[in-house]
Chain A
């Protein structure tokens, strides 16, 4: 059987907190180019702390939500780490082969949810009628 250890690397102390911005649907570019380095949008907060996100010509009004159950961000441990673990673990050699581990990279406790339909920005209003 496969046994995967899940742990916070610093022995549980002081785990980073990440955040999620959740959008309805998918983000797509007009042309199929890699998303890397691309600008997504401007995130503002009103004085009442309500989030406003402007993506392209869409205005999104959102809400900050505290997650009822926090999310752990898990990453698989690199090969290098694995070999260190199995080297130390010579007592249970037969299991070392199957052992891998996930690290809790961060915990997510809050997200900004944009669930309403985006409002369009009408950029080019004809000046002369």
Chain B
């Protein structure tokens, strides 16, 4: 039997319950003998609870004691992040009343026979809304914008009149960028940021070119392109010129990563520089500040700028430069996907502003980063572009009629 008196409640008695059942024309023999009487709690806490709908990965993260955080800014929508993923938080309202019960027994756990049992159950809150989670791609544009404020131009420039002292530790980035830690790390890697004395910095382009130039010189001198670069030795030789972190960063970010032999050689400090990455860097140096460049002049200048034995190819500069083959002479200009908006609609608008018609091959490097598991490049184009055939080639243009 239930406790006779609990503070504040008028307990239900067996006759009370049976009387109601009779009036309701329900037969007690059809029901399990256990009755749960619902009461409002003495302290209703309707506003102190928030309900959050959990995705399986979030639930798992919580249950394994991992960090789950809500990050918000007055100017941005709140997001929830786990170690590896970002979710948008959306409030959902329902006209139904949800009564919250810390204790309740469900049918299968109740005895089917025996004496009638009366149990009091407390409703501690009545809730009409909850928060839903929707996985989103994190907005990492801010990361680049933040680090661009004060690029690293070398240790002798630290503290000079151009230094704004606006540098950021990882913890500061976590609190500013609405993305999970893993996504922030991936974002930093993508924009090629380097950790220097605890701060995440972008290397000034001219400066990184100087560092790379020295590394390349050293490689040619010691035949490291073939034999592999010895990191220890490389840092040692260049230590008077550049901080170790910077040299190491430049070597790593211009090495072959997909190479399986990388893993084993990493421990022995041997790195193989990537032809594609080095060539891309030199192309960027040529194009970055030069506006439209005569294509054949560029190709010649570019090939001459890269180390001997390296071969330049168009595939190396995909997503970094555009070529107009219809103009006379043919021209190339700097156009980097990293400078374009993250928002899909805005991205397509900017792309079609730059160039009215794109072939699939041309546009792919400029939208590939917007794809996810569900949407590939083809699906994106179906949704955001208009396809037409020109001289037998499928071309994509803006859906907007101009």
* A44 pairs with B31, CB closer than 8 A: yes
* B54 pairs with A71, CB closer than 8 A: yes
Is B189 among interface residues, defined by CB-CB distance under 8 A?
Answer: no
* A40 pairs with B24, CB closer than 8 A: no
* B99 pairs with A47, CB closer than 8 A: no
Identify which of residues 97-125 in chain A touch chain B, using a CB-to-CB cut-off of 8 Å.
98, 102, 104-108, 110-112, 115, 121, 123
* B40 pairs with A25, CB closer than 8 A: no
The CA of A95 and the CA of B69, in the complex, are separated in Å by 14
In the complex, identify which listed stretch (B6-14, B268-276, B292-300, B334-342) lies at the interface while the others stay far away: B6-14
Contact of B53 among A4, A71, A115 (CB under 8 A): A71
The CA of A26 and the CA of B54, in the complex, are separated in Å by 25
Is A50 among interface residues, defined by CB-CB distance under 8 A?
Answer: yes
A residues lining the B interface (CB < 8 Å): 1-8, 11-13, 15-16, 18-27, 35-54, 57, 59, 64, 69-76, 92, 95, 98, 102, 104-108, 110-112, 115, 121, 123
- Chain A residue numbers with a CB within 8 Å of B23 are 57, 121, 123
* A54 pairs with B24, CB closer than 8 A: yes
- Chain A residue numbers with a CB within 8 Å of B104 are 18-19, 21, 43, 112
| Chain B window 110-126, contacts with chain A (Cβ cutoff 8 Å), 1 for yes, 0 for no | 10100000000101001
* A72 pairs with B38, CB closer than 8 A: no
In the complex, identify which listed stretch (B55-63, B206-214, B281-289, B386-394) lies at the interface while the others stay far away: B55-63
Contact of B68 among A1, A5, A108, A121 (CB under 8 A): A5
- Chain A residue numbers with a CB within 8 Å of B35 are 42-44
Contact of B40 among A5, A40, A123 (CB under 8 A): A40
In the complex, identify which listed stretch (B70-78, B158-166, B373-381) lies at the interface while the others stay far away: B70-78
How many whole Å from B324's CB to the nearest CB in chain A? 43
Lowest 10 CB-CB distances: which A-B pairs, in order? A49-B107, A12-B65, A19-B104, A45-B107, A40-B38, A11-B65, A37-B8, A4-B70, A43-B36, A21-B99
- Chain B residue numbers with a CB within 8 Å of A59 are 24, 26
Contact of A72 among B51, B71, B73 (CB under 8 A): B51
How many whole Å from A6's CB to the nearest CB in chain B? 4
- Chain A residue numbers with a CB within 8 Å of B37 are 39, 41-43
* B32 pairs with A37, CB closer than 8 A: no
- Chain A residue numbers with a CB within 8 Å of B95 are 24-25
Given contacts A3-B70, A6-B68, A12-B62, A76 and B48 within 8 Å (CB-CB): yes
- Chain A residue numbers with a CB within 8 Å of B112 are 47
Is B50 among interface residues, defined by CB-CB distance under 8 A?
Answer: yes
23 contacts between A and B (CB under 8 A): A2-B71, A3-B69, A3-B174, A5-B69, A8-B62, A16-B102, A21-B38, A24-B95, A25-B96, A38-B39, A41-B38, A42-B36, A45-B34, A49-B106, A59-B24, A71-B51, A71-B53, A71-B54, A72-B52, A73-B100, A75-B49, A76-B48, A115-B96
